[in-house]
Amino acid sequence: MRKSGPFLAFFGAVTALCLLAMRLWTQPIIEAGGLPMLDLRMAGYSPDEVRFFIANITEAGRAAYLGPQRVLDTIMPIALTAALGLLIYRMIRRWSWQIGAVLALVPLVYFTFDMLENAQVAAILRARAVSDTMAEAASRFTVAKAEALRAAVALALLALAVRAAELALGRRNRKSGRAMSFTVAIDGPAAAGKGTVSKAVAAHFGFAHLDTGLLYRAVGRKVILGADPVEAARGLTAEDLDATGLRTPEVAQAASRVATGPEVRAALVDFQRAFAARAGGAVLDGRDIGTVICPEAPAKLFVTASPEVRAERRYLELIGRGHEVARAEVLDDVKSRDERDSARATAPLKPAEDAVVIDTSQMSIDEAVAAAIGAINARR
């Protein structure tokens, strides 16, 4: 369900195309005066106008209309129903079930009216004995839409049941005293302040924190000392993460180079996922936490800032630690790593589809932390 966005877009596009095709197909026939529009809402005609059309129908118009109309009237309810089911589930899972329920009502009401209007047209056609074929068609559309309505209601109920079960399970786990895992994924470009925000967030919620950049920096450092990148990643130890010099621009560059290797990345996945799943909650910051390592994380943030602001912050941090660096050198490092991190084929740097983007260019540390905590609370 995490990937329901593309499906929704797909079904939305199918529905829009169906509507467009229907318009294009039926417009010339309407203009020729030969078509009674069965679907009043779709065409926007009043019952009186439909009666007028019915009185003026031609055989050719009827035949040209019924074939495509029947196909479209089958595809559209299916597309709408599928989109609706996904939408409802996504709403109640990601946002709130109340909003989901209200939004779900809109298409359900639409289906209901649509169906009633079809029934009304069928009744008019029958009463006037204008055309048995048309009356039959209108009845069929009524049945098709009733089926769609039933399916939509069933989907909505199923989505609500799934969510209720999830919530009940969570409550039981809490009651039984079993600490729940809760993962906060924080991604963003170089020196965006992820580390500061992540530490503050972890302290606020009492979660453990893992700076995943440190893993790549530790591998990068070993590679500078002559190790093979994949071997270094596979044999990483806790002491490697405590080594001195991991924060220098040279090691950062080496880290970003080894981080392009799929095998290096693969060697570090299990450790990161195990950390993310620990009881009591975890905050992980890096480049691919929300997209690759923990795509199911309930809270995802993408912390960013302009390259100049980030370079200045990193420059002050390095100077503060006693490193001798030039401003331009730091800006170069930030920009070149951004480029490499975003362009690589494996796990490129990008916000997850459902990440909350926090641009800290104009924010103080406190403001950035408050924004992050607010976004996480909204997902809890």
For residue 222, what are the contacts with CB-CB under 8 A and spacing of at least 6? 232, 240
Binding to ligand CDP by residue 191, rule CB under 6 A?
yes
Q: Which of 90, 209, 217, 300 binds ligand CDP (CB under 6 A)?
A: 217
- Window of 31-39, 102-110, 213-221, 363-371 that interacts with ligand CDP by CB under 6 A: 213-221
Q: Residue type for 190, please?
A: A
Beta strands 299-304; 282-286: pairing state:
unpaired
Minimum distance of ligand CDP from residue 308's CB (angstroms): 15
Minimum distance of ligand CDP from residue 65's CB (angstroms): 58
Tokens of residue 141, six digits: 């559309």
Q: Which of 259, 294, 301, 311 binds ligand CDP (CB under 6 A)?
A: 259
User: 7 vs 271, which CB is nearer to ligand CDP?
Assistant: 271
Query: How far is Cα 338 from Cα 188, in angstroms, rounded to an integer?
Result: 9
Torsion 46-50-51-53 (CA) sign: positive
CB of 284 closer than 8 Å to CB of 184: yes
Minimum distance of ligand CDP from residue 1's CB (angstroms): 24
Give the angle subtended at the CA of 163 by the CAs of 161 and 166, to the nearest 5°.
110
Binding to ligand CDP by residue 236, rule CB under 6 A?
no
Residue 289 per-residue DSSP state: I
Binding to ligand CDP by residue 337, rule CB under 6 A?
yes
User: 191 vs 371, which CB is nearer to ligand CDP?
Assistant: 191
Helix axes 59-94, 4-31, angle to 10 degrees: 160
User: 43 vs 268, which CB is nearer to ligand CDP?
Assistant: 268
User: Within positions 341 to 380, which residues make up the interface with ligand CDP, using CB under 6 A?
Assistant: 341
User: 93 vs 209, which CB is nearer to ligand CDP?
Assistant: 209
Query: How far is Cα 144 from Cα 80, in angstroms, rounded to an integer?
Result: 13
Residues that bind ligand CDP (CB under 6 A): 190-191, 194-195, 212-213, 216-217, 252, 255-256, 259, 286-288, 337, 341
